[in-house]
Homo-oligomer: A and B are copies of this chain.
Amino acid sequence: MSLPSTLLEHAVDQLATLPGIGRRTAMRLALDLLRRDAQEVVRFSDAIRKLREEVRFCDVCCNISDEPRCAICRDPQRDASTICVVEDIRDVIAIENTRQFKGLYHVLGGVISPMDGIGPDDLNTQELLGRVAEPGVNEVILALGTTIEGDTTGFFLNRKLAERKVAVSMLARGLSVGGDLAQADELTLGRSIADRKPYEQHAKR
């Protein structure tokens, strides 16, 4: 596909670098932007540039924040003795939406993935170990994805954290709530059998 304009070519090339966006979709997006008001496109382009240039991260939990400490870390109502370790900010939002967690977070900024050349030092692991070294932290919840990379990262962190005096826990794995037994994949169903709980414990909730 050779394009009649180098400006268009550059825009399509750049849009196609976004995850999940192929050249065909990038073309559709570029044409949509082209049809807009010039001012609107300036706002679009500025919002993206500013995000990267002016973004800052919470000094404590590495979450994205407009201030030196994020709103969650600043909140005196939150339980500072429990730290929930997540891969990225989307996980923070997902967990916040459950309203089940009142502790603080630690955003790793990714998971260990040798295939992608991402090791522990590319993540905010030192910051986490530093926080746990301070007195007052009792529990670290490893809320990582149930992928090989998530498991690897959990394994690594658990080993590092074993040296400290904190409880390390991980999220329960099992059937989705509202899910059908027959529709669950074998691994999940197997895990839910192995990890079965006394009925009373379940009913208490």
Using CB atoms and an 8 Å cutoff, list the residues of chain A in contact with chain B: 1, 3-8, 10-11, 13-15, 17-21, 25, 27-36, 38, 41-55, 63-66, 70-72, 88-90, 92-93, 97, 109-110
**23 A-B pairs in the complex with CB atoms less than 8 angstroms apart:** A1-B97, A3-B93, A4-B64, A4-B92, A7-B54, A7-B66, A8-B64, A10-B47, A10-B50, A11-B47, A11-B48, A14-B47, A15-B48, A17-B44, A18-B29, A19-B28, A30-B48, A30-B51, A31-B90, A34-B51, A34-B52, A38-B53, A45-B49
Q: Which residue of chain B lies nearest to A10 when distances are taken between CB atoms in the complex?
A: B47
Q: Which listed residue, B6, B11, B13, B30, touches A66 by the CB 8 Å rule?
A: B6
- A5 and B45 in contact, given A18-B29, A19-B32 (Cβ under 8 angstroms): no
